[in-house]
């Protein structure tokens, strides 16, 4: 059974700092991996999607990497801003791609102005 | 593209009543939708997989008679919480796969409070 772990559970950084969020998964036979952002009491916003054949994806100040063989992914946020404060969730799809996402517990990020 | 609309966003109901939550794919056909539940400060837990035209597949520990799922069309799945109790209070969120477009799209979620 696929299990997804995110470290750290919470993180507080000063504005402007670069930071890395970590995600690991137990079954390397993934179809893809997705990073989401969730604001308190809100739904999920997809940030980056990495296919199993890819090693990284970039969007603005965000960069996600994937090391499928070691079961790891990182989300790099450059020049953090207070508006980046949210919970970041890592999720994977295992198998053929028509199966549900398995989520980590998330990292709660606070960026202090 | 790939927009999923979920309603209502917030509902308060009395114990013993039933509540229906709708999840619609607005600009694509979704043969498969997923329903998740999220407790405060916890991650999303899959409740069931909803397949158009067939019975939903429930995860272990989820009461199918309590959480009724109907996926009668390619654009609509509904989750009905029957005989709601305070312990059913939670954040419910749906997700859909758009065929040919990798990645999952989520609804905005429904905050259910049972009093």
Q: What value does the mean pLDDT of chain A take?
A: 94
> Which residues on chain B are in Cβ contact (under 8 Å) with A97?
102
Interface test with B, best of A25, A36, A38, A43 (most B CBs within 10 A): A43
A80, A83, A92, A109: which is closest to A30 by C-alpha? A92
Rounded to 5 degrees, φ, ψ at A57 are -140, 145
Contact B106 A46 (CB under 8 A): yes
pLDDT per residue over A65-78, tens digit each? Answer: 999 999 999 999 99
Shortest CB distance from A43 goes to which of B42, B46, B108? B108
- Higher confidence at residue B31 or residue B57? B57
Query: Looking at the complex, does the CB of residue B109 fall below 8 Å from at least one CB of chain A?
Result: yes
Residue B59 is classified by DSSP as: P
Whether residue A47 has pLDDT greater than 80:
yes
- Is residue B102 classed exposed, middle or buried when 0-12, 13-18 and 19+ CB atoms within 10 A define those classes? middle
Query: Looking at the complex, does the CB of residue B46 fall below 8 Å from at least one CB of chain A?
Result: yes
pLDDT per residue over A11-29, tens digit each? Answer: 999 999 999 999 999 999 9
Whether residue B27 has pLDDT greater than 90:
no
Shortest CB distance from A98 goes to which of B32, B103, B105? B32
Residue A44 and residue B109: Cα distance in Å, rounded? 8
pLDDT per residue over B59-106, tens digit each? Answer: 999 999 999 999 888 899 999 999 999 999 999 999 998 766 666 888
């Amino acid at each position: 059974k696929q299990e997804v772990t995110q470290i750290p559970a919470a993180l507080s950084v000063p504005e402007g700092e670069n930071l890395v969020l970590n995600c690991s998964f137990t079954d390397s036979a993934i179809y893809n991996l997705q990073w989401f952002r969730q604001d308190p009491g809100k739904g999920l916003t997809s940030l980056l999607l990495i296919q199993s054949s890819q090693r990284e994806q970039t969007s603005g100040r965000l960069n996600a990497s994937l090391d499928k063989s070691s079961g790891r992914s990182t989300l790099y946020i450059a020049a953090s801003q207070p508006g980046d404060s949210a919970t970041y969730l890592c999720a994977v799809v295992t198998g053929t791609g028509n199966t549900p996402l398995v989520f980590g517990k998330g990292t709660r990020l606070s960026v202090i102005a | 593209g790939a927009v999923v609309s979920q309603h209502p966003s917030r509902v308060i109901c009395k114990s013993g009543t039933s509540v229906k939550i709708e999840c619609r794919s607005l600009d694509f056909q979704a043969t498969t939708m997923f329903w998740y539940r999220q407790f405060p400060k916890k991650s999303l837990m899959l409740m069931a997989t909803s397949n158009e035209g067939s019975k939903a597949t429930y995860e272990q520990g989820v009461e199918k008679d309590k959480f009724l799922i109907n996926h009668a069309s390619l654009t609509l799945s509904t989750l009905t919480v029957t005989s709601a109790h305070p312990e059913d209070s939670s954040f419910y969120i749906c997700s859909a796969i758009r065929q040919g477009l990798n990645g999952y799209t989520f609804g905005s979620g429904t905050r259910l409070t049972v009093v």
